[in-house]
Structure formats: structure tokens, C-alpha cells
Structure 1
Amino acid sequence: MVATGTLLTFVVAALASLFMAWAIGAGSSGSTPFAAAVGANAISVMRAGFIVGLLGFTGAVLQGANVTEAVGTELIGGVSLTATAAIVGLLTAAILVAIGVFTGYPIATAFTVTGAVVGVGLALGGDPAWAKYRQITTLWVLAPFVGGGIAYGTARLLRSPAVSERYAISLLGGLVGALVATIEFALLGPAGEAASISAAIGAALSVGALPVAFACALVVTALLFRGLTTHPEATQRRFLLSLGGLVAFSAGGSQVGLAIGPLVPLLDEVAVPLPAVLAGGGFGLLLGSWTGAPRMIKALAQDYSSLGPRRSIAALIPAFAIAQVAVAFGIPVSFNEIVVSTIIGSGYAAGGGGVSRRKMVYTVLAWIGSLVLALVLSYGAFTAIEVLR
């Protein structure tokens, strides 16, 4: 039997988590996946917000467990987050992210939530989890350079007169097909585990995962090549929208953990299963995408770089790959950081035309400031509450 007081505090923490999920859906996971496609005029802003909400919800349910558990249990050592700590951390992060949404600057959600959780954890008397911090910092530092570099190289390849666009896009599509076949989904594995499409099919056919992934790559390459031969513009547009959908799905799998991760230490006390909480977090992302994302989609699609279809494709492929790496290793990562970096990288492939350097500098400063500010505010707020008790 769950005590009334315990249940009440969990409900308050869950509402704070829902607010955080809404803010993330409106700002990060809701705006970044289709920003490149909107910038290339492949889809309208409102339709993008609607579709990304549905795909983000699906990703949250099928891929959200890894990052959720990392945020809830691996950012601080020696203590478990209390309900009060979870409420303070979530509200601090959500308010900062919401400020970014309404001012038009994409606050890095992973920076903000990580700072807030670490802040309340330290205020509880916990120990810094240095090993996890090194892992997180490595990805955060490398992501802009790796993602932007790959986007730059891919955009240059697609612009090169020496390489047929039909061949280049077809091969890139095959690479994406292989990646999709190897990412893991909760529904494909045994109870409590996840498995990839290639592993599931390979086990059923007794051929192994690698041949299945290679077959998927060949099928996607052939379909794209045929489409680019007969209907090049429509096929390119469909490929771009498919990439946006994959990034939206990945955003749900990663970003839901930032919203509901602080609730994980409380679940055993109230006997609430993690899948139910994942669905609730996915619902919050969906609401944010539908109600608040259009403003940020416009900001990313038009304010950072003027993108055509080729540069949009170049931006989305590395964004999808980096997001799935983060999901696989349970690392909280900001989609604003990833997608802004790849958009800028693809923009520089055309000589930097259309890239707003001024806004880029302000955005980086906002990312760093959000990490420090969230840590300090959450630490101070929780300490003040404990003193007043």
C-alpha cells in the first residue's frame, strides 16, 4: 500500500516532469528533426510539428529506457533523488528551456537537465559521477565537430559536379537503411531487453544480423536509385522527409529521458512501471510539439542557414547517427546542439552563405550558460527548501 503523502509528492513530481516534457517537445525534440526539411520547403511548419509529435511519442516508448535510467540514476553517486529534489530539478530545467522557446534561442536541453539534476544531487550530499561526466562531456564536445564535419563533407559530395547526385543520394540512403536495421527497439527483444531489426530477422532465418543489415542497405539503395531516375524531385523530397522522421523518432527516444529520468528513483515506492512513465513522457513531448514547436522550427530553419534539399539531407544523416549513438549508450544529448551543428556544417559547404555567425555565437553561449545556471539555481533552490523545512 502506497502512503498518501508519498503518492501526492510523486504526482507533483510527475506534473513537473510533464511540464519539462512539454518544454522539450516545444523546443528541442519538437523543432529540430524537421527544421532542415522546412528550410528546404519540403514540408510546412505546422505539418512538421504535428508529425514530429507522433514520431517523438513512438520513439519515447520504444527507445527511451536507456537515457531515462542514466539521467535518473547515473548522474550522481551515493544518494537517490528524492521527490522534492526531482521537482526542484525538473522545474528549474523546464523554466530555462521554456525561456529559450519563447525568446527564440534553442537552449540545450541536455545541458540544462544535466546541470539541474547534478545540482540537486550535490545539494542532497551526493558524490559527482566523474566517469559518467567524462563520457557525457566527450560526446557533447565531439558531436558538433563530428556532426558538422560529416554534414560539410556530405554536402560537398552532393554539390560536386564529378559525382552524380543520383548515385550519391542512393548510396547515402543505403547507409541510412543499414543504420535503421541495426538500431534497437524495445518490442523486438525478450522481456526487459531490446533488439534490432537485423538481429531479430537474422535469428529467425539463422543467418546472423550482418547479412540482414547489408540486405536492407541494398534494398534502400535500389529503391532510391530507381526513384531518382524516374521522379528525381519527388524521390529526393520523400527521402528528406524520411530522414526528418528518423531524427524525430530518435529525438523521442533520447529526449524523453531528460523529462522523466529524475522520476526513476521514485518508481519503486509508488509501484509505477517504467513503460507507463515513458508513455506519459512521450505524451508530454507530443503536446509540446503540437503547441509550441512551430516557433523554434522557424528559428532553426530560417535563422541559422538557408538550406536547400541537398544541404538538408547532409544535415539530417549525421544528426540521426549521433542521436542513435547517444541512445545506445544512455547519454543525455541535446538535439539542438546536434542539429544546429549539422545545419551549420552543411551551410558552410556552400562557402558559409546563409549561416548566421552572430546567432551561432549567442547560441553556444546560451548552451554553456544554461548548464551552469541550471546547476547553480537547482542547488540553491533545494538547499533553501531544506533550510526552511
Structure 2
Amino acid sequence: MVATGTLLTFVVAALASLFMAWAIGAGSSGSTPFAAAVGANAISVMRAGFVVGLLGFAGAVLQGANVTEAVGTQLIGGVSLTATAAIVGLLTAAGLVAVGVFTGYPIATAFTVTGAVVGVGLALGGDPAWAKYRQIATLWVLTPFVGGGIAYTTARLLRSPRVPERYAISVLGGLVGALVATIEFSLLGPAGESASIAAALGADLPVGASVVAAVCALLVVAVLYRGLVTDPEATQRRFLLSLGGLVAFSAGGSQVGLAIGPLVPLLDDFAVPLPAVLAGGGIGLLLGSWTGAPRMIKALAQDYSSLGPRRSIAALIPSFAIAQAAVAFGIPVSFNEIVVSAIIGSGYAAGGGGVSRRKMLYTVLAWIGSLVLALALSYGIFTAIDVVVA
């Protein structure tokens, strides 16, 4: 039987996780996916907040396991996080993220959670997981260049007078369709595993998964091309909303692990299944999106409105792709970093687009500061608590 004090500590850790999920939903994962669509007048602020909450919940349940397990078990070696360590790490990270939400400072969630978990893990006497750190650092460093580069190239393609827009958007839609067909969902695989739409259909048909993905891509190309010929403005708006929905879904899958990951080492002791915890984290994201995201969406939409539909599309495509790569490899990633990089890339495609180098520098410094501050605070707080209790 679990001791009452131990159970109470777990409950406190779960509440801290729920607060973290709320802060994430109210911040980057709840506000960035549909800010472009709101800025382009494709959807209202309140409706965007409602839809992004539902899609974030779905992403958390269907794709959240990889990042959740990575945050909970792969950031530190030699020890498992205790309930107290989880509480300290979560409250430290959530506090910093909440400060960012209410003050407007660009506090990156992945940086704060990673730093906080590593900090309490080191304070527990754990060993640095250098291999995982290299993997994380590689994605974090490449994201601005890859995301920004893809957004720049896409925006230039959409602005080019030599390429008719109906061809460019149709092909881009086909690439997105192929990616959707190949990403994995927990409901499509056997128990405890995930599978893609292409793999699931390919197993039941006399063709391989690659053929199914190609057919999905062609179907999207055909639908978009027909729409762009008959009603280009409405079709472009629907494509932008679809991209926003995919980014919102991906945000749920990649960001829920930042909230509930520290609880993973505690689940076996309390016989709590991971899907139930993913659902709880998804509810936290949903509540954050519904209560806090509309204000952030409205503020961000003013920045996005200068992009226009084409540059918004150019920014959302790499955001979706990078978020799904992070989900597939189980790497905690900052949605702020992904989206800001894509916005900057699409901005340069228009001759700079009002991109401020000084603001870029401050943003990068804030990201690095978030990581270092979270690590130092969580290490110091847990060490102090350990000394007092001992």
C-alpha cells in the first residue's frame, strides 16, 4: 500500500504538472498555431483559441508519448526523479513560463523544462546524459537555420511571378499531405506502439506505405488545384487554417511531454497508465488554450498580420515539419524557437519584412538565459530542500 505522505507528494507533483500544462497551453502551443490565420482574417480570435485547445488535446493523447518518456527518463542518468524532484522541477519551469506569459518575455518552454529537469537530476546525484544532450542541442541549433531556410525558400516560391500560385500551393499541399500520411499515431498501431496512416493502410492493401503516401499527396494536390482555380481566395484561407490545425496538433504532441514528463518515473509506483497521464496533460493544455491563449493570439496576430496569407503559409509548413521531427525522435523543442525562426525566414523573403536584428539577439539570449536560470534555480532549490529535510 502506498503511504499517505507519498501519495500526497504525488498529488502535489500532478498538480504542478497540470499547472505547467496550463502555462504551455496559454503560451506558445496555444497561441502560435492560429495566430497566422487570425492575422490573415481567416478565423476569429475566440474560435481560434477554442479549436487550438481541442487539437492540442488530440495531439497530446495521440502523439505525446515519445517526448514525455524522453523528458522523464532520458535527460539524466543513474537516478530516477523522485516526487519531490518532479515538484521542484515543474514548479521552477512553470513559474518561469508563467512570468513569460504575463510579462511578454520570450521564455522558451523546452529550454526551461529541460534545464529544470537536468538541474534536479544533477542535485539527486545523477549523471549527465551527454548523448541525449547532443541530440537535443543539434535540433535546437539547426531549427533556426532549417526552419528559417525552408520558410524563406517557400515564401520566395509563393512570391515568384514565374510560378503560378495555384501550382506552388498545390505542390506544397501535396508535400504536407505526404507528411501527414507518414507521421505516427498511437491509435493506429498495436498495443503500446504507434503507426502511420500510410503503414496502416499499406498493411491492408496490396501496396506499400510509400505508395499510400504518394496517393495521399496526389489527392491533396488535386483538391487544392481545383479549389485554387474555382475560388482561390477561399481555398488559400482553408489551406492556411488546415496548416494552423496541423501545427496545433503537433504542438500538443510535442509540448505535453514538457508538462508531464517528470511524472513518468513515478507512474509505476502508483499504477497510473501513461495514456491517462497524457490525457490529463492534454486537458491542462486545453484549459490553458481556452483561458489564456486568446489574449496571446490577439497580440501575436498583430505581428502576423504583416505577413499576409502567403508568408503565413511559408512560416507554418516548416513549423509543422520540425515539430513532427521532434515528436518522432522524442526531443523536447521550443515552439517559440520553431515559429519565430520561420517568421524571420519568411520575413527576409520580402526584403527583411521588418525583422529586427536587435530583437532577434534579445530573443536568443532569453532562450539561453531560460535554460541556465532554470537549471541553476532547480538545482539550488532542490539542494536546499534536501539539506533542510536531512
Please say if 1:361 is aligned against 2:361. yes
Q: Which residue of 2 aligns with 1:125?
A: 125
Query: 1:380 is matched with which residue?
Result: 380
Tell me how far apart the structure 1 counterparts of residues 39 and 228 of structure 2 sit (CA, whole Å).
Answer: 21
1:241-260 equivalence runs, <5 A = 241-260=241-260
Q: Do 1:93 and 1:113's aligned partners in 2 also have CA atoms closer than 8 Å? A: yes
**Quick check: 5-14 or 124-133, which moved more?**
5-14
1:106 counterpart SS class: coil
Quote the residue 1:27 is aligned against.
27
RMSD (Å), alpha carbons: 1.1
- 1:326 maps to 326
Question: How far apart are residue 364 of structure 1 and its match?
Answer: 1.6
Name the count of aligned residue pairs: 389
Aligned counterparts of 2:317 and 2:43: Cα–Cα separation in 1: 18
Question: Which residue of structure 2 aligns with residue 91 of structure 1?
Answer: 91
Partner of residue 193, structure 2? 193
Q: CA deviation at 1:106?
A: 2.9
Which amino acid letter does the alignment assign opposite residue 34 of structure 1?
F
The answer as to whether partners of 2:166 and 2:228 remain within 8 angstroms in 1 is: yes
Separation in structure 1 between the aligned mates of residue 273 and residue 105 of structure 2, nearest angstrom: 35
| SS of residue paired to 1:30 | helix
Moved over 4 A (4+): none
Letter in 1 for 2:79: V
Contact 1:304 1:360 (C-alpha < 8 Å) held by counterparts: no
- Give the corresponding residue for 1:341: 341
Partners of 1:294 and 1:97 lie apart in 2 by 17
CA contact (8 A) 1:305 1:344 kept: no
Q: Give the equivalent residue in structure 2 for 1:308.
A: 308
Normalised to the residue count of structure 2, the TM-score between the two structures is 0.98
Q: Is the 8 A contact 2:39 2:303 kept in 1?
A: no
- The equivalences for 1:10-49 within 5 A come to 10-49=10-49
Q: For 2:366 and 2:303, locate their aligned partners in 1 and report how far apart those are by CA, in whole Å.
A: 16
CA offsets 1:239-265 (integer angstroms, 9 cap, x no match): 000000000000000000000000000
Assess if the C-alpha contact under 8 Å between 1:303 and 1:356 holds in 2: no
Question: Is the CA contact (8 Å cut-off) linking 1:304 and 1:340 kept in structure 2?
Answer: no
Q: How does 1:257-296 map to 2 (within 5 A)?
A: 257-296=257-296
Residues 80-159 of structure 1 mapped to structure 2, 5 A cutoff: 80-159=80-159
Aligned to 2:218: 218
How far off its partner does 1:365 sit? 1.6
Q: Which position in structure 1 is the counterpart of 2:171? A: 171
The SS at the match of 1:41 is: coil
Q: Distance in 2 between matches of 1:301 and 1:108?
A: 19
Distance apart, 1:305 and its partner CA: 7.4
Contact 2:253/2:327 (CA < 8 Å) preserved in 1? yes
Counting aligned pairs with the same residue, the percent is 90
Q: Distance in 2 between matches of 1:58 and 1:162?
A: 40
| Distance 1:244-1:304 versus aligned 2 partners, 3 A rule | closer
In the TM superposition, residue 176 of structure 1 has moved relative to its aligned partner by 0.3
Residues 53 and 105 (structure 1), Cα distance of their counterparts in 2 relative to 1, 3 Å cut: same
Distance 1:376 1:304, change over 3 A: farther
Q: Matched residue of 1:29: which SS? A: helix
- Quote the offset at 1:16 in angstroms: 0.2
Change in CA separation of 1:305 and 1:143 when aligned onto 2, cut-off 3 Å: farther
Following superposition, the deviation at residue 268 of structure 1 comes to 0.5
User: In structure 2, do the counterparts of structure 1 residues 204 and 69 end up closer, same or farther at CA, with 3 Å as the change threshold?
Assistant: same
* TM-score normalised by the chain length of structure 1: 0.98
Aligned residue type for 1:148? G
Distance 2:66 2:271 in 1: 20
Residues 70-79 or 98-107, more deviating: 98-107
CA distance in 1, matches of 2:315, 2:263: 33
Moved more, 38-47 or 170-179: 38-47
Which stretch of structure 1 is more off in the superposition, 103-112 or 213-222?
A: 103-112
1:36–1:343 Cα contact (<8 Å) kept? no
- Give the Å deviation of 1:43: 1.7
Residues of 2 paired with 1:179 and 1:304: CA distance?
25
Conservation of the 8 A alpha-carbon contact between 1:60 and 1:253: yes
8 Å contact from structure 1 (residues 304, 344) kept in 2: no
**CA deviation vs aligned residue, 1:152-209 (integer Å, no higher than 9, x gap):** 0100000000000000000000000000000000000000000000000000113110
Q: Distance in 2 between matches of 1:296 and 1:118?
A: 29
Unaligned runs of 5+ in 1: none
